[in-house]
Structure 1
Amino acid sequence: MFTELNTEGKVVGAKQVKRALSKSEVQTVFIARDAEKKVTEEIEDLCKSKEVVVQYIDTMEELGEACGIDINAAVAALLNKN
């Protein structure tokens, strides 16, 4: 399990991840393989353009659990340590 996501230095959800990517605050992005492509495609493109590492998690349920939340998550990001 990706326990490093159960920290304060993260954001969860497409809108928050996009915002953090646009501010260059992201170290790694986690994307659930079973998430809808319309949600993840733009984030994958942003990660490529900003050279941010993307790690894929099998399910949205696993990603939600790794983030320490009680709902499924399509995307999450680990923020830079500043």
Structure 2
Amino acid sequence: MPVRPAARTTAGRNGSGTIPATEWVVFTRETPTDPMVHTGTLRADDEADARERAASLFPGVDARWLCPADAIDRDGSTLEAGEPA
């Protein structure tokens, strides 16, 4: 399975150049038998915008999952010293 680089977007949907407030985490899989893998993050104004951006950034995959980054709870016991939670 090819590894896709993480991608980030910065321009707002309205073309104003403002950075949308919500960061979304993207997971994809290439084929139905592949596991879902973290593919990257993007910023979007809302869920519909996030789906549109993810489809544009990560085309041709079997499945795409999106999750607001602030909904993910990191396990602090796995962090390196000084790494933000």
TM-score (normalizing by structure 1): 0.25
Q: Structure with the greater relative contact order (CA < 8 A, sep ≥ 6): 1 or 2? A: 1
Greater Rg by CA: 2
TM-score (normalizing by structure 2): 0.24
* Greater helix share, structure number: 1
